[in-house]
Amino acid sequence: MIGFQVLARDGAARRGRLTTAHGAVETPAFMPIGTAGTVKAMTPEGVAATGARIVLGNTYHLMLRPGAERIAALGGLHRFMNWSYAILTDSGGFQVMSLAARRTIAETGVTFRSHLDGSLYELTPERSIEIQRLLGADITMALDECTPYPSPHEAVESSMELSMRWAERSRRAFVEQAGYGIFGIVQGGVHPDLRLRSVAKLVGIGFDGYAVGGLAIGEGQTTTFAVLDATVPALPEHRPRYLMGVGKPADLVGAVSRGIDMFDCVLPTRSGRTAQAFTRQGVVNLRNARHAEDPAQLDPECPCPACTGYSRAYLHHLSRAGEILGSMLLTAHNLRYYADLMVAMRNAIEAGSFAEFAAAFESAA
């Protein structure tokens, strides 16, 4: 079992500490995405230098290539990717559901064809948990179905109930070890009644943490926040809360104000590869011609290599020339921005000034 302490509160916002077999994670925390055993355009040392102490890997991609059994034989995912801190693994449910015509859902699990070579696979709750155990994940996620948005209430209800049955099977399949835990995933679309039923079922099963899934798939920020307002107060106070797949900086601040502790999203790394940088002055597109002769730093308040060693003009040049270094520098910068945002929120919660921080952040956005 993993440990979790709430060290300070300010309104619904929480500042905590998650303790795993591979070290402590200060919360609120953002997890860089390392889907296939690597955070794109980054070395593990570079990821750690941004301040990250937990990354996300993915069951679906790693089971297809290079294979969970192979990674286990090579010492587990931590050794395989040279990452000494914590790892959370997504169960693969979201990726499998996105295959659409390539998969079939049944009570037993999901049968699907690989997007790589068309090979046929079956992913059951038990197999998903086994793969995550072979990988050596500090935090394992229960297998769930991510319901498409929008969907009728009846379809969302059926999907949620299936996810809850899978959650029970996932929990039974999980092998308890000190420092390792399993999270259940709340489903129910944008319907508060279904979300609360999902929470009640998961709490009854008993998990080490609780994720809010099935959001950030097109419903918009207002709806996302409304779902959190209805869902988060029902989650256990003494367990970590994880909002999956979110999001933009303003989304993170708004979710922390509603009691969320953990996040993941492809946005900072994907943006880094497309020349978009998150700064304290707003989002900067370094492909724009106005940066071509700008000697200024990207963000004067940021200590990352992109900001301390290079000009906007040079970053613009790298982007326009398609140089790999541009993706590396901007990805590292964006991850540092997200990590610094987490630090700032933790500090504000400890100081009892989170509402003022959030208001100032919103006015500057």
pLDDT in tens, 171-219: 999 999 999 999 999 999 999 999 999 999 999 999 999 999 999 999 9
DSSP per residue, 243-281: ETTB-SHHHHHHHHTTT--EEE-SHHHHHHHTTEEEETT
Q: What is the mean pLDDT of the chain?
A: 96
Q: Which whole number is the average pLDDT over 237-252?
A: 97
Share of the chain above pLDDT 70, in %: 99
Residue 128: both structure tokens together: 């998903």
Of 90, 251, 261, 340, which one is the catalytic site residue? 90
Strands (E) located in the chain:
3-10, 13-20, 23-27, 29-31, 54-58, 86-90, 103-105, 110-113, 120-123, 139-141, 181-186, 209-212, 241-243, 262-264, 276-279, 282-285
Give just the sign of the alpha carbon dihedral 108, 215, 98, 130.
negative
144 has catalytic annotation = no
The b-or-e profile of 40-78 (16+ CB within 10 A means b, else e) is bbbebebbebbbbbbbbbbbbbbbbeeebeebbeeebbb
Q: Which whole number is the average pLDDT over 57-86?
A: 97
d(CA 208, CA 33): 21
Please report, for the chain, the start and end positions of each structural domain, with discontinuous segments joined by +: 3-264, 266-355
The residues, ordered by sequence, that sit 6+ positions from 267 with a Cβ below 8 Å of its Cβ are: 247, 248
Of 261, 264, 299, 340, which one is the catalytic site residue? 264
Give the pLDDT score at 101.
67
90 has catalytic annotation = yes
pLDDT in tens, 25-48: 999 999 999 999 999 999 999 999
Give the pLDDT score at 18.
98
pLDDT in tens, 312-344: 999 999 999 999 999 999 999 999 999 999 999
Exposed / middle / buried, residue 210 (Cβ in 10 Å: 0-12, 13-18, 19+)? buried
Give the pLDDT score at 345.
98
pLDDT bin (cut points 50, 70, 90) of residue 112 is confident
Residue whose C-alpha is closest to residue 262's, from 16, 8, 7, 9:
16
Helix axis angle for 153-173 and 125-135, nearest 10°, is 50
Give the amino acid at 134.
L
Helix axis angle for 324-351 and 354-364, nearest 10°, is 140
Q: Biggest alpha carbon distance in the chain?
A: 60
Cβ atoms of residues 288 and 315 within 8 Å: no
DSSP-derived letter for residue 238 is T
d(CA 334, CA 277): 6
Give the pLDDT score at 115.
86
pLDDT bin (cut points 50, 70, 90) of residue 364 is confident
Return phi, psi of residue 48, to 5°. Answer: -65, -35
Residue 134: both structure tokens together: 């072979």
> Whose structure tokens read 């079956």?
122
Q: Which range has the worst mean pLDDT, 57-66, 96-105, 149-158, 173-182? A: 96-105
CA 123 to chain centre: 21
Give the pLDDT score at 51.
98
d(CA 352, CA 11): 9
In this predicted structure, the answer to whether residue 99 has a pLDDT above a threshold of 80 is: no
CATH architecture observed for domain 3-264: Alpha-Beta Barrel (3.20)
d(CA 65, CA 102): 18
